[in-house]
Amino acid sequence: MCIPDKNIYKPHLATIDAIVDETHDIRTFRLVFEDEAVRDSFAFRAGQFAEYSAFGAGESTFCIASSPTRKGHIECCFRAVGRVTEALRRLEVGDTVGVRGPYGNSFPIEEFFGRNLVFVAGGIALPPLRTLIWNCLDWREKFGDITIVYGARTEADLVYKRELREWEERGDVRLVKTVDPGGNGPSWDGQVGFVPMVLEQAAPAAENTIALVCGPPVMIKFTLPVLEKLGFGDDAIYTTLENRMKCGLGKCGRCNVGNVYVCKDGPVFTAKQVKAMPQEF
Amino acid sequence: MPKTITEQNLHLLVDALLREGKRVVGPKRAGTVTLYEPLRRGEELSLDELPRRSAKETFFPVCESILSYEKREGRMTVRDVDLSRLPESVLIAARSCDAAAPGILDAVFSWDYHDEFYLERRRRTVIIGLACTTADDACFCTAVGLSPAATQGSDLFLTPLAGGGYACAVVTEKGEALLTAHAGLFAEAESIEALPPAEPAAAPLDLKRIKAWLDANFEHPFWGSIAERCAGCGACAFLCPACHCFDISDEGSETKGERRKHWDACGFGKFTNHASGHNPRDVQPQRYRNRIMHKFKYYDDKFGLTLCTGCGRCIRACPVGIDIAAVLDEINSKP
């Protein structure tokens, strides 16, 4: 952890080291902390998030999308939809952003050792799983079969296209990529269909398997019954809640779902925990 | 022997504190209303009515800078606010409902991560409470376990006397130090005849019972019935001594400006709105439910405290007449 102890709202400064345009409105920043001591000491776990600032516009919350196993930089991936994210998008390589964090809980990766993993993601919800996917791939021998089911509305909406190719080609991962009906072009070599349906067809075995699901609420809503049908118990399914946050520190009162504070108690929850919450997310 | 202080000497106490360089905040007439405001002299103290707004901003300003940033020659620097320059303060004549609130807010601002903006102001402030001898229809401190003469949160506590002036009780060491430093302004009385404390009409609520109902009734038609008329104006939250939701935003350009923390309210429609447009609390009854739940369930779940001191300001100010005391009373009487 690397939270300043005096001013908890003060960000570290980070330089944009590289920018990748994932889609027409989704962008990845590779960030390097300017302070060498912060660069060396900044540690996080897959699933944790940070508050990123474009000075003059404010702060936005995104997960840390890179793997904790990759040192020296972090990555975030954002869609330009509002004041802060539009301001972030105007920044260029070499510009400075603010980063506060890491915050929140994380995927209990050690509990997944020896298990099979099924990642299910939709649209821009791949980044919260991508951190864990790379974490697991960097520790590949600790896990059994790894399946990734990832879909977006169209080919153009898929993020991390280069990594999808890499996962497809590495041989120790089963990648099932899909686009919604009508979202495929002539060169599309993946599936066509909504993520829950494609997951059902892919039918990963539930035995000794953990499912990790991130996506828009509607995708999660239809994916959970499929996983249940495939034999996954609610405590073998993990997801992240993507509530609006501001402080990230359990103070500003914005991200609660019932008495759960997503910024402190989450963002990672099992389906069992999510089902026990008031359905207000 | 009990200490007493005359009205005149209370004014002199304010003057003395101001001469020491302290910031003194107390009830002061501001046009047609009374507000807790920084005093310039003791005579400005106006103790006749409950201030329109709570004393919360003494510790948690409506808007405060939490850092400044500047980009020079292509390099961004972030500068901290120098908290050592915050003034030593005295909050004088805080009503029991207002004096008790900071002690409740300490929990959220000091659990796990410490919000030094709030906590440093707390450390640097002495609270002199004042008992209420009158109450209006909206007062319900007795319903939530406080009272017009409750000393919770005060360092010194003033009780109006029948013959004029105030009895001054020492509540904490911080209060004792202030009293000792100004001992000449206080007298010792053999006995005192205090004015009887106010008697709010609201009957005590069974907060445990209310919490138990809230625990079990997140989905209940009651919420729709009481809150459909809520206008989402946020007046209740802004006047409340215990509401503490806030936002953080930048003021300035991309090359120079300040980052600020400022009050927000869970009653506002966009408070929980996601970037995608999805809003978990997209209708007003859900937002009002969250307000009640936060005060009487979530804060209790987390810190074992009730986030309400019964000051009644939200009742007096609500433009559509929502009465939180009546809402609680109704919950209290539910099977």
Residues A197-223 have a mean pLDDT of 95
Which secondary structure element, helix H or strand E, spans residue A209, and what is its range? strand A209-214
Q: pLDDT class for A1, splitting at 50, 70, 90?
A: very low
Residue B127 confidence (pLDDT): 98
What ipTM is given for this predicted complex? 0.93
The answer to whether A263 and A248 have CB atoms below 8 angstroms apart is yes
Number of Cβ within a 10 Å radius of residue A156: 13
For residue A262, pLDDT over 60 is answered with: yes
For residue A3, pLDDT over 80 is answered with: no
Residues A192-207 have a mean pLDDT of 97
Residues B78-107 have a mean pLDDT of 96
Q: Is the dihedral of CA B226, B230, B234, B239 positive or negative?
A: negative
For residue B239, pLDDT over 80 is answered with: yes
Decide if A259 and B69 are in contact by the 8 Å CB cutoff: no
Taking only the tens place, the pLDDT of each residue in A226-248 is 999 999 999 999 999 989 999 99
Chain centroid to CA B50: 12
Residue B109 confidence (pLDDT): 97
Residues A185-211 have a mean pLDDT of 96
Decide if A96 and B76 are in contact by the 8 Å CB cutoff: yes
For residue A83, pLDDT over 70 is answered with: yes
**Residue B263 CA: distances (Å) to CA of A133, B57, B211:** 39, 10, 26
Q: Across-strand partners of A122?
A: A151
Taking only the tens place, the pLDDT of each residue in B43-60 is 999 999 999 999 999 999
Residues B81-100 have a mean pLDDT of 96
Residues A148-170 have a mean pLDDT of 96
Number of Cβ within a 10 Å radius of residue B255: 13
Residue B226 confidence (pLDDT): 87
Mean pLDDT of chain A: 95
Residue A5 confidence (pLDDT): 62
Dihedral Cα B63, A11, B101, B179, nearest 10 deg: -90
In sequence order, the 6+-apart residues with CB closer than 8 A to the CB of B126 are: B89, B90, B91, B155, B156, B174, B175, B178
Q: Chains A, B: CB contacts under 8 A, how many?
A: 132
Taking only the tens place, the pLDDT of each residue in B112-123 is 999 999 999 999
In angstroms, the CA B60 to CA B58 distance is: 6
Residues B83-95 have a mean pLDDT of 96
In sequence order, the 6+-apart residues with CB closer than 8 A to the CB of A29 are: A16, A18, A19, A75, A76, A77, A78, A88, A91, A97
Closest-CA residue of chain B to A217:
B278
Distance from CA of A207 to the nearest CA of B (A): 34
In angstroms, the CA A8 to CA A5 distance is: 6
* Partner B, chain A 24-63, Cβ-Cβ below 8 Å: 53-60
Taking only the tens place, the pLDDT of each residue in A18-35 is 999 999 999 999 999 999
For residue A4, pLDDT over 70 is answered with: no
Residues from chain A contacting residue B248 (CB–CB below 8 Å): 9, 58-59, 246-247, 252
For residue A153, pLDDT over 50 is answered with: yes
Distance from CA of A39 to the nearest CA of B (A): 17
For residue B87, pLDDT over 80 is answered with: yes
Tell me the three state secondary structure of residue A279. Answer: coil
Taking only the tens place, the pLDDT of each residue in A72-81 is 999 999 999 9
Residues from chain B contacting residue A214 (CB–CB below 8 Å): none
Tell whether A257 lies on the interface with B, counting CB pairs under 8 A: yes
Residue B276 confidence (pLDDT): 85
Taking only the tens place, the pLDDT of each residue in B133-186 is 999 999 999 999 999 999 999 999 999 999 999 999 999 999 999 999 999 999
Pinpoint the alpha helices (H) of chain A.
36-41, 83-90, 127-138, 161-169, 195-202, 217-230, 262-265, 271-276
Q: pLDDT class for B85, splitting at 50, 70, 90?
A: very high
Residues A93-120 have a mean pLDDT of 98
Residue B171 confidence (pLDDT): 98
Which secondary structure element, helix H or strand E, spans residue B67, and what is its range? strand B63-72
Long-range contact set of residues B24-31: C-beta below 8 Å, sequence gap at least 24: B24/B89, B24/B90, B24/B92, B25/B55, B25/B58, B25/B89, B25/B90, B25/B91, B25/B92, B26/B91, B26/B92, B26/B93, B27/B51, B27/B93
Residue A6 confidence (pLDDT): 86
Q: Across-strand partners of B170?
A: B156
Mean pLDDT of chain B: 96
